[in-house]
A and B are shown apart, each in its own frame.
Chain A
Amino acid sequence: MNSRFFLRCPARLRRGLLITHLATIAALTPVALQAADHGDSPLLGAIGRNDAKLTDLHAFTHNGNLVIALSTNPAIPPGVEDYLFPSDLTLQILIDNDSRVRFDDPNDLAEFGGTIAKPAMIRPDIVFEIKFDRSGEAKVSASGLRGPDKKQVRLFAGLRDDPFIRAPRQGRNVASIVLEIPLSAVIAKQSTLLIWATSKIPDVQGPICEHAGRALRSMFAENDPMNTLRPRDHFRILGVTPDVMIYDTARPAGYPNGRLLTDDVVDLVGDPRILANDAPFPSVNDREFLADFPYLAPPQ
């Protein structure tokens, strides 16, 4: 069929030829496994809002400070040198600093970093909300912190090398937020924190349109409902262990206790569905991380 034939076709026939716009709903595509959080929440891709996707969440301590890195947008074209965060995007980093966590169940310890004693009671005690003005500049507001501590929040927002240690992501960039705050400002009665992050855009109803907790959980198709629910509702509604990152700050960080930038979670989790696409199985990031703030490697 040549283009001239195509142009002569009756409209009904022409409509029959046009296929590319038929299936923007990603549910029609089998979930091609995109590791970390890079490919979950297919709805966001379907409505053209990859910018609201959360790709990775890292948490560790450095010189007495808590560092949390949240990365977004797996679809930034290579070669792009600047990134404008959309002004209708809201990101939140949430911390529950008083839910009791046990470390006596070896299975939970290995899979989740511990056992949350009352998963239905998980609630954020501290919320960092990041919004962007019309020039893309990030503004962070913090609730649950003491007044003087709010002034100690250090913020980075911008284009960074994708910190996900995975072959298909080499050479790619993401849009990242990095927060650094004295650990003493977020610790209450215990050393253990539950950490998670969400994104929100007006087009998607409800308080959450994407969720990130422990690496390589909510990205699986069977866990996609986690992405629109609060962690306590993962337990109450879905009946599963809430997807949060457990981080006992009294112990060294490293998956599944928090997550270091250098953690090769693909290998550490070892799910064959993820390993399948990882050849040649890198164990370090393709760009060296920085020793100091903002820690993430510069963009490629």
Chain B
Amino acid sequence: MRAVNPCVRVGMILVIATGFSNLGIAASTDRAISRYEAEVSRYPERYPVRVQLADALLQKARESHDLTVLEQARRELHLSLQTQPTYEAYLTMARVQNYSHHFDDAIKWARIAEEASPIEGADSAITAVLVEAYLGLGKTADARELLPISENEPTDYYIAASLAQCLRAEKRYAEAADAFLLAGKIAKKANVAALVDWAEWSAATVRSEADHLH
């Protein structure tokens, strides 16, 4: 991974380290939020930084389960969009709405982001948002339809993780566990340890769900 400002790097890891509140990184999230808040206070026109702040606030919500910070995240995103509409703001808004369980709204924002995506073909980051939203709405078939049909194993983390969640929703626990482990392998290849842990933890959780049912 290329060098980034340590604060941002921590933020990136935080963003990807879903649910690992025991990693002791909450303080780093707070530092990232403070840094971005200071920057937008001094330079209110810096719309990309407002999106980064919203992303850090979303991570704060994940770590603390305090959803009230999401209101500030939405405010920052609206301010960012007022200054300059961007793909990043649309996508982050979709993620915030997913986490708030406003799944219909998340789909709306994700579809807007899709129009602005720089990716040629399907943008797997958006696919993952949509899969999450449809699963949240209980529309498993709609979620599944978004995933590419291939005889080969997914090579994209987003797709592997999304597939795992779909399989889990379909109660195909063994296959879901395998898909999580595949996601873990992709993360391992990319040297993202927190995601390897998350994927393996998810696989174990799915297996325990299956054992519980039996």
Residues of A in contact with B (beta carbons under 8 Å apart):
1-3, 5-7, 11-13, 15-25, 27-30, 32-35, 38-39, 43, 45-51, 53, 74-78, 80, 83-84, 86-88, 134-136, 168, 202-206, 209, 228, 277
* With contact pairs A6-B101, A203-B4, A204-B5 given, residues A28 and B157 touching in the complex (Cβ less than 8 Å): yes
- Interface positions, chain B 117-176, Cβ under 8 Å from A, are 117-121, 124-125, 128-129, 131-132, 135-138, 140, 155-158, 161-162, 164-165, 168-169
* A47 proximity list for chain B (CB < 8 A): 4, 8, 11-12, 52
CB-CB < 8 A to B83: which residues of A?
84
Grouping DSSP codes into helix (H, G, I), strand (E, B) and loop, the A interface class, with mixed when no group exceeds half, is: loop
List residues of chain B with CB under 8 Å of any chain A CB.
1-5, 8, 11-12, 15-16, 18-19, 43, 45-49, 51-52, 55, 58-59, 62, 65, 83-88, 90, 92, 94-95, 98-99, 101, 103, 112, 115-121, 124-125, 128-129, 131-132, 135-138, 140, 155-158, 161-162, 164-165, 168-169, 186-187, 190-192, 195, 198, 202, 205-206
Q: Which residues of A contact B99 (CB under 8 A)?
A: 18, 21
Q: Count A-B contacts at CB 8 Å.
A: 209
Residues in A with CB closer than 8 Å to B98 are 18, 20
The complex places the Cα of A47 from the Cα of B98 at a distance, in Å, of 20
Find the residue from B90, B136, B140 having the highest chain A CB count within 10 A. B136
* Contact for B140 among A1, A19, A28, A205, CB less than 8 A: A1
- Min CB distance, A42 to chain B, in Å? 9
Inter-chain CA distance A3–B102, complex, in Å, is 9
How long is the Cα–Cα vector from A45 to B19 in the complex, in angstroms?
23
Are the C-beta atoms of B132 and A2 separated by less than 8 Å? no
Contact A204 B2 (CB under 8 A): yes
Which residue in chain A gives the minimum CB-CB distance to B44?
A134
Quick check: B86 and A77 within 8 Å, CB to CB?
Answer: yes
